[in-house]
Structure 1
Amino acid sequence: MATAQYRTLLEQIVHEGPWTVEETCRAYEVRAQQMHESATLSPRQLARWMRGDVGQARPVAQRVAEAFWGHRFEVLLGSPHELSEFERHSGTAAPGPSVDVESLEAAAVMAAHESFEHAARIAGTVDSDDISLLQESVLELARGYQTKPPLQLLTEARHIRNVAYLLLDKTRRPAQTSELYQVAGQACGLLSVVAFDLARWDAAEEQARSARTYAELIGDADLETWSRGTQALIANWRRQSRRAIDLIASSVDDAPAGVSTARLRAIEARAWAELGRPDQVKESLRLADVEMEQARYNELYGASGGEFGWGPSRHAACAGTALLTVGQGETAVTRISDAISLVPEDPLGGLAPARAQVDLAAAELVAGRFDASVDALDSVWTIPASHRRRGITGRMDQLAHRLVGRDWRDSPQAVELRDQIEVFNAEAAFRLALPSA
């Protein structure tokens, strides 16, 4: 189509791109989320922009539009021109950070969620295939947790939970009700971890309690134990370590043997470490190691469960964190190094290697090896800002705090590393408000 038939460059880009107007609006809003801007775009508003009829477009809307389409806003509303092959294929005005593959995938996922939720809403009965799809989806999300940014995980886990709610309203069959409560509980569990990763402690606690309630309703001991352990982990990060220990004590006797109990004991060790009790740390880790030795993994909560999993790598990393906290640098280096080396053999055990790398850097620092500490961080600096979870940035803050200690405060290299950590954390995506879930 000749460019003269278009009124604006924006109209040309949209019409010659691969998306419908509705898909373009969804992708625009995804881009706004990635930029942490509060901007929406309706098909009607986009149509006005395409005509050049803008009126008083908000500055935030213009900023997102410029990042999304790759031109200044006034250029988008100006005369069309010959589009490059990239522009014609992608629907954007320039390569680079405008609309990346992640944005395209997120728009497709959003569209699929809308279709599934609408179908669930209008269906007269509950199809067992829909329940199976939800069960598969929550497991897939748990397994792929570390590969997605928290805000995307928030959207997907919330979708799974909401569809489970819709279907629960449509069935009275006990078997279906039990399955849906389990899905809802698992989704709330993942939402709890997302809120934790965004440092939204109250939201994390509420979601963990909800997960535990659903687990109690259906007698899912593994999910109940996992939820209680997550509550304890949240409490420990909130500097409520005594409460964390109480939560563990109230559930450990009823927890399934093996990985579920091992996780509780490892979290308990970290709480004792925060309280400065190395003797109790040693005993909790001993009990945790005994449970891991006799572990029998089940499908979701064992080594195949991703974020729900507790494989050997994650177990060793958690032990290393506890030892690091009580100042046992050499022993911590050994356990954390073991954890990192186990990752290839334990791909679904739930360990986020970046967290272990930060802990390794801190342990090397405690052991007096600054250069080894710097080397341990090599892979951490490349983490995209949107993936920098609280478990990473919180550890980086702790590492920075160690760098102001007596041994390093006058070191120019330490000062430079502290500055680098400050910039790294300042860029983290989770600094923004968490949307309601």
Structure 2
Amino acid sequence: MATAQYRTLLEQIVHESPWTVDETCQAFELKARQMQEPATLSPRQLARWMRGDVGQARSVSKRVAEAFWGHRFDVLLGSPDDVPEFERYSGTAAPGLSVDVESLEAAAVMAAHESFEHAARIAGTVDSDDISLLQESVLELARGYQAKPPLQLLTEARHIRNVAYLMLDKTRRPAQTSELYQVAGQACGLLSVVSFDLARWDAAEEQARSARTYAELIGDAHLEAWSRGTQAFIANWRGHSRRAVDLVASSVENAPAGVATARLRAIEARAWAELGHPDRVKESLRLADIEMEQAPINEVYGATGGEFGWGPSRHAACAGTALVVVGQGESAAVRINDAITLAPEDPLGGLEPARAQIDLATAELLAGRLDASLDSLTVVWEIPAPHRRHGITGRMEQIARHLTGRDWRDTSEAVELRDQIEVFNSEAVSRLALPNL
């Protein structure tokens, strides 16, 4: 039989897959993190499993192995000829290989990162092409931010930052130093946002301060304004809304006109909303709207886009969030619907549609429309657990709190929705421990 050369099904899977043993182990450990299981796999341990030596395999490792390769553990360590009929693989690739494409791609990216970091470490000088690659990498990561789960973003942003640090140690050329400080600052900025998405407030604030320091060092006014705004945004979510207002007040005068100032004013509006000042919310939004109307199309962070972007869709959504907080459901629904409508024409604007949908659901509740609120959440339930950032789970918690109000708490639909939100949030990857940065 064709499989007779293999001692175990696992050995056949590994040998016939396109991945090296190291890449397979990396993908296994990534799968473990996605499953929130404390399992690791070394090449030596994998080799033992491949020859059928189970040794002292832990239950947690067996669970991950079964999810990773798509077979019961005893089947994996048995002969390929003994696979039960209902578990047989009918395709042309390695039998039983059920590793999701996202995990395999992440393993390949991880291996490439390790190669790049090692090359940067041993290089005697800094190549301008390598700096260009880093610059494009951090901007590409910002543009694709919403499409990747937080833990993957964490790994990639940390890699970019660390390579920038390695290169900074090897150059004294002012132009290269300035470029690398900018890359480091942008990478720290992304690390700040992903730390926020993982609900790790201290890490998020520390990374935002670092990004601001690099920006000040090289005189990058756009990055400085973005970093200060991010600090204010984090402070507001932590319940320090007065500090958020003060951060914006100390930043807005020196911020570039246009989208940079518009973003600061919009964040200020949300802080005033948390402090219970609807009149000041209205004024901050008015000033923010004026800045957006006057913003040049080719502004640095507007053109860069993604997480560094502040397009019309994200601007309208942020305004809607502020109006939700002060209880103006009808006005909030108008702004959020504008954001959702603008999103297809604003691909680099940085809007995460799911957050807008959740805010719209809250606005509909405030306006007394439970059915419309339920409709707004339809797409939210489809978000995979690894992509459920704190900005999503936190908003869902707010909806759950609204549902305990007098208008809804006794309705069967509201009770069912609260239960659904509890399950949705409990599955979120944001409950994982954040690795060291």
Report the TM-score range of the alignment, normalised by the length of the smaller protein: over 0.9
Cα distance, 1:368–1:424 mapped onto 2, change above 3 Å = same
Match of 1:93 among 93, 96, 110: 96
CA-CA distance at 1:427 after TM superposition: 1.0
The separation in 2 between residues aligned to 1:19 and 1:287, in whole angstroms, is 54
Contact 1:221 1:256 (C-alpha < 8 Å) held by counterparts: yes
The separation in 1 between residues aligned to 2:324 and 2:78, in whole angstroms, is 59
Cα deviation, 1:134-161, whole Å, max 9, x if unaligned, reads: 0000110000000000001001101111
In the other structure, the counterpart of 2:25 is 25
TM-score for the superposition, normalised by structure 2 = 0.96
Q: The residue matched to 1:350 in structure 2 has which SS?
A: coil
Contact 1:13 1:88 (C-alpha < 8 Å) held by counterparts: no
Q: The residue matched to 2:75 in structure 1 has which SS?
A: helix
CA-CA distance at 1:27 after TM superposition: 1.5
Q: The residue matched to 2:381 in structure 1 has which SS?
A: coil
CA-CA distance at 1:86 after TM superposition: 5.5
Contact 2:89 2:95 (C-alpha < 8 Å) held by counterparts: no
The separation in 1 between residues aligned to 2:299 and 2:259, in whole angstroms, is 12
1:258 aligns with 2:258: yes
Matches within 5 A, 1:235-384: 235-298=235-298, 300-384=300-384
Cα distance, 1:366–1:398 mapped onto 2, change above 3 Å = same
RMSD: 1.5
In the other structure, the counterpart of 1:409 is 409
Cα deviation, 1:279-329, whole Å, max 9, x if unaligned, reads: 110111111111111112446411541101000000000001001100111
Q: The residue matched to 1:253 in structure 2 has which SS?
A: coil
Query: 2:159 is aligned with what amino acid?
Result: H
Contact 1:16 1:88 (C-alpha < 8 Å) held by counterparts: no
Query: 1:76 is aligned with what amino acid?
Result: L
Cα deviation, 1:25-77, whole Å, max 9, x if unaligned, reads: 12211211221222221111111111222311122211111111112222211
In the other structure, the counterpart of 1:10 is 10
The separation in 2 between residues aligned to 1:410 and 1:16, in whole angstroms, is 58
Cα deviation, 1:6-42, whole Å, max 9, x if unaligned, reads: 2222112111222221221122112112212222211
TM-score for the superposition, normalised by structure 1 = 0.96
Contact 1:273 1:325 (C-alpha < 8 Å) held by counterparts: yes
Q: The residue matched to 1:434 in structure 2 has which SS?
A: coil
The separation in 1 between residues aligned to 2:245 and 2:315, in whole angstroms, is 18
Query: 1:2 is aligned with what amino acid?
Result: A
Contact 2:139 2:304 (C-alpha < 8 Å) held by counterparts: no
Q: The residue matched to 2:380 in structure 1 has which SS?
A: coil
Residue identity (%): 82
In the other structure, the counterpart of 1:193 is 193
Equivalent pairs counted in the alignment come to 433
Cα distance, 1:299–1:119 mapped onto 2, change above 3 Å = farther
The separation in 2 between residues aligned to 1:299 and 1:436, in whole angstroms, is 34
Return structure 1 stretches of 4+ with deviation > 3 angstroms: 82-88, 297-300
1:418 aligns with 2:421: no
Cα distance, 1:281–1:92 mapped onto 2, change above 3 Å = farther
Which ranges in structure 1 are unaligned for 5 or more consecutive residues? Answer: none
Contact 2:27 2:103 (C-alpha < 8 Å) held by counterparts: yes
In the other structure, the counterpart of 2:142 is 142
In the other structure, the counterpart of 2:157 is 157
The separation in 1 between residues aligned to 2:89 and 2:55, in whole angstroms, is 31
Contact 1:87 1:93 (C-alpha < 8 Å) held by counterparts: no
